[in-house]
Chain A
Amino acid sequence: MGNTMTVAPAQGDGSALLCVKGLRMGYGPVEVLKGMDIEMKPGERVVLIGPSGSGKSTLLRVMMGLEQIQHGQITFGGDPYITADKGKTKIDIGVRKKIGMVFQHYTLFPHLSVLGNLILAPCKVAGESRSSASERARALLERLGLSHRVDAYPAQLSGGQKQRVAIARALMLDPKLMLFDEVTSALDPELVAEVEQVILQLAAQNMPMMIVTHDMWFAKNIASRVIFAAEGRIIEDGPPEQVLGNPREERTREFLERVFHIKT
C-alpha cells in the first residue's frame, strides 16, 4: 500500500481518491482547522488521532458537507465538491453523495423501523423501488448479523446494534468512502467489538475509510495510515508502524504516552 510518509502538500492529480487542500474552518472567530492538506489514495484506511478539541470531528463534518469553511477546497475522485468561495461554501451534492458517514451518537430515525431507516434514502432520493431496496436491506442486515432485528425500532436495539444499523444505512447508498467518527465511544465496553468487527469486514473488502478512534487496538488493526492532528493542524502523517510505533514528532510521542500510556 502506498503510504504518504510526509505531510506532502496535496496535489489534485487524478490518482487521489480524496484531496483536501488549504482547508481552514472556524466557528465564528475561533479558527478550528488552521490549514489542512490531506491526499488519500484509493483503498487507504486513514486513522485520525489527536487530543480532544483538535478538530477531528470538525474535519469529518466538513468532508461530509455539514459545516461551512472559510478557505480551501476538497476534491473527490478528481471532482471538486466543497469549495470556499468568497465567504460561502459551495457543495456539489452529487459528488458528496459518494461519501457515507457514521456518527458517535446514534442518529437513527427513531420513528422508523430498522428496515425503514435503511430504505428511506434509496427510495426517496435514489428513486429505487420499495421492494428492491427492502431486498438489498435484508441481505445487508443478514451479513451484519441483524436479520432478526429488521422490524425492530431503534429504541429496542442495543447500542452496538444501533451502530451496526447506522453503518448498514450508510452502506445502502453504495458509498465510495466511509467516515467513522468515534463510532464506539458511546458504547458499553462489551459492545465495542461487534461494531469494530463490521468495520474490519468492510476493510477486508477494500472500502476506503477515514476513522477517528481512541481505541489503540482497533487503530493498529485497521489503519493503513495514521494522521496525528493537534490544534487544527496535521502534526504527523505516516504508516501506523511509524506514527503509533516510532513517531518522529515529539508531540505525537507525548500524546501517545499521555493518552494511551504507550512508551515509544
Chain B
Amino acid sequence: MMSYDFSVVLRFSDALTLGLVMTLKLTVLSILIGSVIGFAVALARTSSNGVLRFICATYVEFFRGTPVLVQLFWIFFCLPLILGVELSNLVSGVIALSLYMGAVSSETFRAALRTVGPEQHDAAIALGLPSHVEVTYVVLPQALLRAAPPLLSNSVSLFKESALVSAVGLADLMFVGQNISNTTGRPVEVLTIVALIYFVIAFPITRVVTVFERRMLRKLKA
C-alpha cells in the first residue's frame, strides 16, 4: 500500500501561491468586465432597435451554447490570427472569460430588470423624476440588489471554470498543480490540495449567497 506524504506539497507552496494569484487575477478581472458587459447587453436587449437586440441575442446564445473550452481555444489560437496581433496569455484568458461571463450575467441582469414593475415607472413619473434619475435611483439599485445573489453564483462558477485555462498553458492554480504533480509523481497529494484550495474559496461565497438572497428577497417584497 502506498503512503501519502502531504509535506511534498509544502515545498511547492510558493509556486502554488503564484498559481492562485493568477487564478484570482484572471477571475476577478473577468467578473468585473463581464458584469459590465452583461448589464449593458441586458439594457440593450430592452432597446427599440431591432438590429441591436438581434446582435446581443446572438452573442448571448452563442456563448451560452458552446463549450467554454472551445471558446478559450478559439480566442487563444484564432483571435490573434484574425486580428494579426500577439495577445499575452492573461489578456486572452481575460477576454475569453469576460465574454463568457458577459453572456451568462446578461441573463441574470435581464431577469432582475424584469422584476422592476411598471408601477415603479408610474410612481417615478408621478413624482416628476426625469428618466436619468429614474434609471439611476429607482431601476438600477433594485436591479442590482436582485441580481446580486445570482451574480455571485455566476462568479463562483466562473472561478471554477477558470481552471480550464490551464489547457491553453496559462499558469493558473490548476496548471501549476498539474506541473507539480507530474514532476513529483505525487498526483494524489498535490491535486487533493489544489481541489481543497478551490473549495475553501468557493464554498463560503455560496453560503453567503444563500443568506444574502433570503434577506434581500424579504426586503424587496414590498
Contacts and interface: CB of A to CB of B under 8 A. Distances in A.
B221 A124 contact: no
B169 interface: no
B135 to A, nearest CB: 12
Nearest to B144: A111
A109 interface: yes
A111 B220 contact: yes
Nearest to A93: B128
B138 interface: yes
Interface in B188-222: 218-222
Given A106-B222, A111-B141, A125 B130 contact: yes
B126 A66 contact: yes
B110 to A, nearest CB: 19
A154 B120 CA distance: 13
A107 B130 contact: no
A180 to B, nearest CB: 12
B220 A120 contact: no
Interface in B6-51: none
B137 interface: yes
Which one of B127, B142, B218, B220 has the highest number of Cβ atoms from chain A below 10 Å of its Cβ? B127
Contacts of A218: none
Given A109-B138, A110-B220, A155-B220, A124 B129 contact: yes
Interface string B113-137: 0000001101101111110010001
A111 B220 CA distance: 6
B128 A96 contact: yes
Interface residues of B, number: 21
Contacts of A103: 119, 122-123, 126
A109 B126 contact: no
A244 to B, nearest CB: 28
B145 interface: yes
A155 B130 contact: no
A200 B220 CA distance: 31
A74 to B, nearest CB: 15
Which one of B123, B141, B145, B221 has the highest number of Cβ atoms from chain A below 10 Å of its Cβ? B123
Given A103-B119, A103-B122, A108 B222 contact: yes
Which one of B120, B130, B221, B222 has the highest number of Cβ atoms from chain A below 10 Å of its Cβ? B222
Contacts of B130: 125
Given A155-B219, A155-B222, A109 B123 contact: yes
A113 to B, nearest CB: 11
A65 B125 contact: yes
Contacts of B221: 110, 155
Contacts of A64: 125-126
B28 to A, nearest CB: 26
A71 interface: no
Contacts of B127: 120-121, 125, 169-170, 173
Nearest to A105: B119
12 contacts: A64-B126, A66-B126, A96-B128, A100-B126, A106-B222, A107-B120, A107-B122, A109-B120, A111-B141, A125-B128, A153-B219, A170-B127
Given A108-B123, A109-B142, A110-B222, 9 more contacts: A96-B128, A100-B126, A103-B119, A107-B120, A107-B122, A110-B142, A120-B138, A125-B127, A153-B219
3 closest A-B pairs (Cβ-Cβ)?
Answer: A110-B222, A107-B123, A154-B222
